[in-house]
Amino acid sequence: MEYDEVIKTRRSIRGYLDKPVPKELIREILELAMRAPTSLNSQPWNFYVVTGDVLDKIREGNVERNMAGVPDSREFRMGPAYDGVHRQRQIEIAIQLFEAMGIERHDKEKRMDWVLRGFRQFDAPVSIVITYDKALAGGDIPPFDCGGVVNCIVNTAWSRGLGCVINSQGIMQSPVVREHAGIPEDQVIQTCIAMGWPDDSFPANAVVSKRKSVDEAAVFRGF
Ligand SMILES: Cc1cc2nc3c(=O)[nH]c(=O)nc-3n(C[C@H](O)[C@H](O)[C@H](O)COP(=O)(O)O)c2cc1C
């Protein structure tokens, strides 16, 4: 795929075929994505790629703890709740996804089912947990660097026919992820990516999210 086509057609994939992803292909994707720039070329990221029983245990633990009302234990600051235009955008994408899935606004059962899908990593065959070296914890640069490589991973995967969704829900119960993925204490868990072959019959996979315009986002001076 040409670069423009990857960028223009990629979208988050939340329904997957029950088909394994070869380890070699994931290695190839990581190798390319790790060409992403980082501050001082520090490359603070690490990847814990999980599948099979390991991922199933993470799914089970995530669902169990969330159903039991265990509070979130993310390893980063959340900042203030989204309000104003940011909240509007959050609602807009939720409406698009719920409409595609036929989830009515007041249908608590179906809404809960959707949330649980997130905790189950959308039943993807693979999850890549992105961490960074704890020695750098406290600054904003390592999470920024992780964002850079994550973007490269999802685009590279897409260029090879694989779908992904960056999935904050998947690491909300970080002790579960840490235990089953065997993540050592010298790593901070930043996020995870669900990955697999897109199920084209899954309605939410067709949703195309909107973007604000360049005119709204960019200011050009001195041209
Ligand atoms: C940091 C981050 C966390 C995300 N967490 C979730 C999540 O927990 N659940 C989910 O369904 N999508 C999640 N997403 C996907 C976004 O909803 C999605 O990227 C956005 O709506 C734009 O849609 P697109 O990826 O299809 O272009 C996350 C994306 C990012 C960058």
Q: What is the pLDDT of residues 46-72, one digit of tens each?
A: 999 999 999 999 999 999 999 999 999
140 part of a folded domain: yes
Q: Does the CB atom of residue 12 touch ligand 1 within 6 A?
A: yes
Distance 164 CA to ligand 1 centre (A): 10
94 part of a folded domain: no
Contacts of 69 by beta carbon, 8 Å cutoff, 6+ apart: none
Q: Does the CB atom of residue 205 touch ligand 1 within 6 A?
A: no
- pLDDT tier, 7 (very low <50, low <70, confident <90, very high otherwise): very high
Between CA 214 and CA 151 the distance in angstroms is: 19
Residue 10 has pLDDT above 90, yes or no: yes
95 part of a folded domain: no
pLDDT value, residue 168:
94
Q: Does the CB atom of residue 11 touch ligand 1 within 6 A?
A: yes
For residue 13, give its domain range.
3-79+119-206
CA atoms within 13 A on the CB side of 29: 28
135 part of a folded domain: yes
Q: What is the pLDDT of residues 192-212, one digit of tens each?
A: 999 999 999 999 999 999 999
- The pair of structure tokens assigned to 91 is 């609602």
- The pTM of the full predicted model, rounded to 2 decimals, is 0.97
Q: What is the pLDDT of residues 138-187, one digit of tens each?
A: 999 999 999 999 999 999 999 999 999 999 999 999 999 999 999 999 99
Provide the 10 A C-beta neighbour count for residue 164: 29
Provide the 10 A C-beta neighbour count for residue 199: 18
- pLDDT tier, 1 (very low <50, low <70, confident <90, very high otherwise): confident
Q: Does the CB atom of residue 209 touch ligand 1 within 6 A?
A: yes
86 part of a folded domain: no
Q: Which tops the pLDDT comparison, 95 or 1?
A: 95
- Write the single-letter amino acid at 37: P
Closest protein CA for atom 15 of ligand 1? 166
Mean pLDDT computed over 213-223: 98
Q: Are 170 and 121 in contact (CB under 8 A)?
A: yes
103 part of a folded domain: no
pLDDT value, residue 176:
97
Between CA 177 and CA 58 the distance in angstroms is: 6
CA dist list (Å): 107 to 21, 110, 202? 34, 6, 19
CATH number, domain containing residue 184: 3.40.109.10
Q: Are 200 and 143 in contact (CB under 8 A)?
A: no
Taking the alpha carbons at both ends of the chain, their separation in whole angstroms is 33
221 part of a folded domain: no
Q: What is the pLDDT of residues 99-139, one digit of tens each?
A: 999 999 899 999 999 999 999 999 999 999 999 999 999 99
- The pair of structure tokens assigned to 165 is 């969704």
- pLDDT tier, 75 (very low <50, low <70, confident <90, very high otherwise): very high
Distance 34 CA to ligand 1 centre (A): 21
pLDDT value, residue 188:
98
DSSP, collapsed to helix, strand or coil, labels residue 133 as strand
Strand partners, 124: none
Closest protein CA for atom 7 of ligand 1? 167
Mean pLDDT computed over 80-85: 96
89 part of a folded domain: no
Given ligand 1 and candidates 7, 12, 13, which is best to mutate, with the most ligand atoms within 8 Å of its CB? 12
Q: Does the CB atom of residue 163 touch ligand 1 within 6 A?
A: no
Given ligand 1 and candidates 150, 165, 177, 205, which is best to mutate, with the most ligand atoms within 8 Å of its CB? 165
Q: What is the pLDDT of residues 12-52, one digit of tens each?
A: 999 999 999 999 999 999 999 999 999 999 999 999 999 99
Taking each continuous run of H as one helix and of E as one strand, the counts in the chain are 8, 4
Look up residue 81 and give its DSSP letter.
P
Number of domains in the chain: 1
